Amino acid sequence: MHWLAAFNTFIFLTLGGLHVYWALGGRQGIASALPATPDGTLQLRPSAALTAAVAAGLLAMSALSAVPLVLGAATAPGWLRLGNGGLGLVFGLRALGDFRYVGLSKRVHDTTFARLDTRYYTPLCLALAASCATLALAA
């Protein structure tokens, strides 16, 4: 199970770092990371503060994921199982989507974001949902 914790830690650190970059004003890749209408209108325009808050959340998720790696405990404390279970639920809901622009339920498929969401973002969320749920149940 330690490899799942390492996987989650790596993914959350990477995504957290990307959000820090965007919060500090970086623009590379941001248009591909935001859902848009078919005419190109972005559905979200997150502020730097909101992007920094998302970065902080992702970095906190990486810390939560790293606990088993640091402690090396065979049995996780209850709060860690609860945290991983909650993350599994959150990423499962993200994978399901909003029934319009995001996830498995999206109806808009012909934008850059939608194509990337189908190919990369939603499968990653499914993998994170499964790995977090596995870590929660296996402990």
Percentage of the chain lying above the pLDDT 70 cut: 97
**Average pLDDT of the segment spanning 126-132:** 97
Is residue 68 scored above 90 in pLDDT?
no
Domains of the chain: total? 1
Q: Look over the chain and give the mean of its residue pLDDT values, rounded to a whole number.
A: 94
Q: Does 93 have pLDDT greater than 70?
A: yes
Domain span at 58: 2-138
The closest alpha carbon to 90, from 64, 52, 51, 118, belongs to 64
Give me the pLDDT at residue 1, please.
Answer: 76
Residue 81: Cβ within 10 Å count = 16
What's at 49, amino acid-wise?
A
Q: What pTM did the predictor assign?
A: 0.92
Q: How far is CA 95 from CA 6, 34, 47, in A?
A: 21, 15, 24
Q: What is the dihedral of CA 125, 94, 12, 54, to 10 degrees?
A: 160
**Segment 90-94 mean pLDDT:** 98
Q: How far apart are CA 90 and CA 103, in angstroms?
A: 13
